[in-house]
Chains A and B, each alone.
Chain A
Amino acid sequence: MTEILRLSVPMTVWIAAFSAVYGLQGLLCAGAFGAVEPGTQRGLLILAGAVAVAVQVALLMALRAPRFASPSRFVQRVSVILAVVALISTVWTLLPVVASSVCL
């Protein structure tokens, strides 16, 4: 089962981070935290996006590290591919936090 987890963790972390940032944006725009300045809103979202990217980088390094390496070469290779995919996905899908209007 650890091998299956190794393969499923990177993308699962992506969907969690993606949903969390989307949720944060929804909460900010719904006024759940009261009236927040647009600049602060964007700042918070960029911060959340940066944390998500950092988590993915850490995960990629961990999966590449010999300490956590899989005994199976195949699983090792596919899990690193998936970690890279998850990192790209995180950057790609959270890029709107720097450019798009927040609540319009």
Chain B
Amino acid sequence: MTALRLHRKLDPIWASDPGFRGWFTTVNNNDIGKIFLMTATAFFVIGGILAMLIRAQLATPESAFMGPAVYNQVFTMHGTIMMFLFAIPFFEALTVYLLPGMLGTRDLAFPRLSSYGFWCYFIGSSTMVVALVLGVAPQGGWFMYPPLSSTIGSPGIPADIWLLGISFVEVSAISAAVEVVVTVLRYRAAGMSLDKMPIFAWYMLVVAVMILTAFPPMILGSLLLELERAFGMPFFQVDSGGDALLWQHLFWLFGHPEVYIIFLPAAGAVSTILPVMARTTLLGYGWVVAAAVSLAVLSFGLWVHHMYTTGIPHMGLAFFSAASTLVAVPVGVQIFGWIGTLWKGRPQMHLPMLWIMGFFVTFVIGGLTGVMIAVVPFDWQVHDTHFIVAHLHYVLVGGFVFPMIAAIYYWLPVFSGRKRFFRMGETAFWLAVPGFHVTFLAVHWAGLLGQRRRTDSYDPGQGWEVINLIASIGSFVMAIGFALVIVDVAINALIASRGRRNPWGAGTLEWATALPSPSYNIASIPVVDSRYPMHTDPDLPNRIARGEGFLGEPIRNRRETLAVSTARGDPLQVVVFPQNSVVPFVMAVVTSVIFIAPIFKLYWLMFVAAFGVMVLSMRWVWVLGSRHDEGALDAGRGVSLPSASEVADPPGWWGSLFLLLADAVLFGSALFGYAFLWTVAPNWPPPAYLQPGVAGPALALGGAALALAGPRLAERRLRGGDTPYAGLVLGAAGLGALMAACVMVMRALPDPSAHAYDATVWVLSGYVLFHAGLAAIMAGFVMARGRAGFLSPRRFGELRVVRLWADYAVLTGLIALAAIYLPGLGT
């Protein structure tokens, strides 16, 4: 088949709906990636404007430009926007756009989830900006320490907007993370074993797992603080058995990995771009993978270094000081690995390379000051001064923004299909990077002279005036530089001339296709036998375009791609992707009500919306699968593969597995909170512990046994040619018994606001109630699917999904109830 004929066949199948409607129904990673990027850039601009307001205020002492009430909102929102609404969404957007092309597959694993995640982000972020415009933006600093952020320090709705808005935006981060993990592990070109994956995919796999394990503690923290604010459940109020330090632990358990979650995608971009710019290959691929993995895990052992001044014993600090210095080693490995790569090749100073040089200069300084503040006594001096502000800007701007600009210029041809002609980028660079250094070197100095962060003004005569004026001037130069970058990229994307394929001579598959990348990303799924297939096999793009890879002929006239084995990349299944759909957008809107209604104390509306989300999810899942057995499908190249609805591990199972990983971290964080309050909070033990009795534990154990056995029985009967209903009913009944045990616990402690103990027990039993209920609803839903003909002895994968969720509910249920019952037995 000719390339053009194949394109004409594939494009109608994969294209999004035309016109305005298409914006809301598209599930294509190219479309979503682009609007995602543009939205994130818009938030960078908003955050940048706030930064300029801050520098305008601090340029002179005793400035009357803003009062503290406004200034507090401005710096809180600057931090919040840059961290949550710009940095994370920006690299997610880049990943959504690039990952399928790099891996040689046709879309991300869950296309509708991309759309849902984007809309959640869009609505949540917009809500926060509306709050800013209305003057009810949060004002407690971006890490929102209670009691300042609780009802005592922040009456009214601003803090609620932060807690609920950010939690809602995190839904999008979790969605994207689940999607990236499953995509990297299962959706790749044939033969792309783990050692042949593009290095960017490795980095994103690591980052996605980090998101799944780092965000839940903060989501839990936000939930607890919101429960305290709304219902007086005193998790952070010391008088009723809470402890303000619990928040700091939960927040920094998220907050430190967060820094590396932001840095690693940038490092992945550098590891991809720098070898191409040096016309060579990355030095020490295996070492770099090991460095990324160790960096990721080490970053979870640093959280207390944000809490050096909270009075934790010195040995505790010493552990974290040691870990904080150690984390510099994998960073050093990457830095020297990159320099070694440059030595190996013949580097050329194209614009992306220029920005990477900006990254080196800036990030190395940020890393060195980072090592300094890992040293406990030094941090005791500079903590909460402008020195910290300068350090974090060196790390985040140097370690994220500069490499991301390099990435945008490098991948611009993939987005636009055009080559760069308009050369404002160099000028922009020479404004932004020196401007940055002038600003933040000065800010370091102000911090060393004792200027505190977050004060709205300062008195003259402390030697800070000149330094702050220099910093403010530098910051405006830098802002002009960034503005020029945005203008330059926009002009180049819109009006430059058509470029050729693979202008940089890169080795990875996103350059193997026509530019800009078409709706189906890749015309057929190639067989890959090296890490840089474009180098070893120059004819590959033509063979892909002629449909000589897998699924090269769209004979079934539907969106199909290949799922491969995790380690070796052997083709395993033909996955059928869903059509364009407005359901993700509608569901994001309804989900937003769940998060926005509580701001105005409209709890009934929240429950209505939650019910709506449940109905919509059922609608979402209903269209998947098939009502008849398809048997082995022709996948091209003489290979026959089963459809993904006729296997034991359908995509939904993989997605559930990683979603449950995040869920398990949330549960673990709740148990940590329980143990923390128990041992550290001053006003423990509570007046009385719950007495478990006999009925509750018996219900829980019996229910657990049924819930474990039911789905297994259902699967055995279905695969033996029988109906699965008895097993599912049994499982649902078991889950119901588990729920009853939780309700008994809550009835025995009728007032969750009495003491942090009661509140914690409510949260734990509420958690189990929710998960057992969810699994029971799933069991009922699959029964309906069975009645409608979606199940057969070959199509039993959905039962596996139910089993996974039921097992999880049982496991966490038994642990939580044991933690609730045991203290009462001892007294």
Show the binding face of A for B, using Cβ within 8 Å.
1-4, 7-8, 11-12, 14-15, 18-19, 21-23, 25-27, 29-30, 32, 45, 71-75, 77-78, 81-82, 85-86, 89, 92-97, 99-104
Contacts and interface: CB of A to CB of B under 8 A. Distances in A.
B185 interface: yes
Sort A-B residue pairs by CB-CB distance and give the 4 closest, nearest first. Answer: A74-B195, A96-B318, A11-B297, A3-B567
Interface in B189-223: 193-195, 209
A23 B312 CA distance: 12
B298 A11 contact: yes
B294 A104 contact: no
A77 B326 contact: no
B319 A22 contact: yes
A3 B569 CA distance: 12
A44 to B, nearest CB: 12
23 contacts: A3-B194, A8-B293, A11-B294, A11-B298, A15-B301, A18-B319, A22-B319, A22-B320, A25-B313, A25-B315, A30-B679, A45-B315, A74-B195, A75-B194, A77-B286, A78-B289, A81-B287, A81-B290, A82-B290, A82-B294, A93-B323, A96-B318, A101-B314
B319 A72 contact: no
Contacts of B296: 11
> Which of B296, B300, B319 has most chain A Cβ within 10 Å?
B319
B314 A100 contact: yes
Contacts of B290: 78, 81-82, 85
Nearest to B323: A93
Contacts of A85: 290, 294, 330
A89 B298 CA distance: 8
A97 B294 contact: no
A58 to B, nearest CB: 19
A24 to B, nearest CB: 11
B193 A72 contact: yes
B566 interface: yes
A30 to B, nearest CB: 5
Nearest to B322: A93
Given A25-B316, A89-B294, A74 B194 contact: yes
A100 to B, nearest CB: 4
A11 B319 contact: no
A19 B300 CA distance: 10
A96 B313 CA distance: 12
A53 B12 CA distance: 59
Contacts of A100: 314-315, 318
Interface string B555-566: 000000000001
A86 B293 CA distance: 11
A21 to B, nearest CB: 7
A86 B297 CA distance: 10
A25 B319 CA distance: 10
B541 to A, nearest CB: 26
B680 interface: yes
A104 B376 CA distance: 14
B286 A81 contact: yes
B566 A21 contact: no
B326 A92 contact: yes
Contacts of B209: 8
Contact of B315 (A19, A74, A81, A96): A96
Contacts of A26: 316, 679-680
Interface in B753-808: none
A93 B194 contact: no
B690 to A, nearest CB: 20
A93 B289 contact: no
Contact of A7 (B193, B293, B316): B293
B301 A18 contact: yes
A64 to B, nearest CB: 15
A20 B114 CA distance: 37
A12 B316 contact: no
Contact of A30 (B287, B322, B323, B680): B680
Contacts of A30: 679-680
Given A3-B194, A11-B297, A100-B318, A29 B313 contact: yes
B313 A103 contact: yes
B641 to A, nearest CB: 19
B414 to A, nearest CB: 28
A45 B316 CA distance: 12
A86 to B, nearest CB: 8
A100 B567 CA distance: 44
A25 to B, nearest CB: 6
B194 A101 contact: no
B555 to A, nearest CB: 32
A4 B568 CA distance: 12
Contacts of B330: 85
Contacts of A7: 293
> Which of A26, A86, A102 has most chain B Cβ within 10 Å?
A26
A54 B264 CA distance: 31
A19 B301 contact: yes
A83 B193 CA distance: 22
A58 B319 CA distance: 23
Contacts of B567: 2-3, 71-72, 75
A78 B316 CA distance: 31
> Which of B194, B320, B330 has most chain A Cβ within 10 Å?
B194
Interface in B266-309: 286-287, 289-290, 293-294, 296-298, 300-301, 304
A66 to B, nearest CB: 18
A103 B283 CA distance: 45
B727 to A, nearest CB: 26
A11 B293 contact: yes
Contacts of A75: 194-195, 567
Contacts of A3: 194, 566-567
Contacts of B680: 26, 30
A104 B318 CA distance: 12
A86 B298 CA distance: 9
Contacts of A94: 319, 322
Nearest to A19: B301
B322 A103 contact: no
A64 B323 CA distance: 26
A89 B679 contact: no
> Which of A26, A32, A81, A93 has most chain B Cβ within 10 Å?
A93
> Which of B318, B320, B680 has most chain A Cβ within 10 Å?
B318
B314 A93 contact: no
Nearest to A17: B301
A96 B317 CA distance: 9
B116 to A, nearest CB: 26
Given A32-B679, A101-B314, A18 B323 contact: yes
Contact of B566 (A4, A8, A19, A78): A4
Nearest to A45: B315
Contacts of A86: 294
B785 to A, nearest CB: 27
Nearest to B675: A23
> Which of B193, B304, B316, B568 has most chain A Cβ within 10 Å?
B316
Nearest to B287: A81
B185 A4 contact: yes
Contact of A15 (B286, B300, B314, B679): B300
Contacts of B301: 14-15, 18-19, 93
Contact of B326 (A1, A89, A96): A89
B319 A96 contact: yes
B208 to A, nearest CB: 12
A54 B185 CA distance: 32
Contacts of B298: 11, 89
A72 B326 contact: no
A3 B205 CA distance: 14
B535 to A, nearest CB: 19
Nearest to A6: B567
A85 B286 CA distance: 13
A23 to B, nearest CB: 8
A2 B185 CA distance: 12
B294 A1 contact: no
A93 B326 CA distance: 8
A95 B322 contact: yes
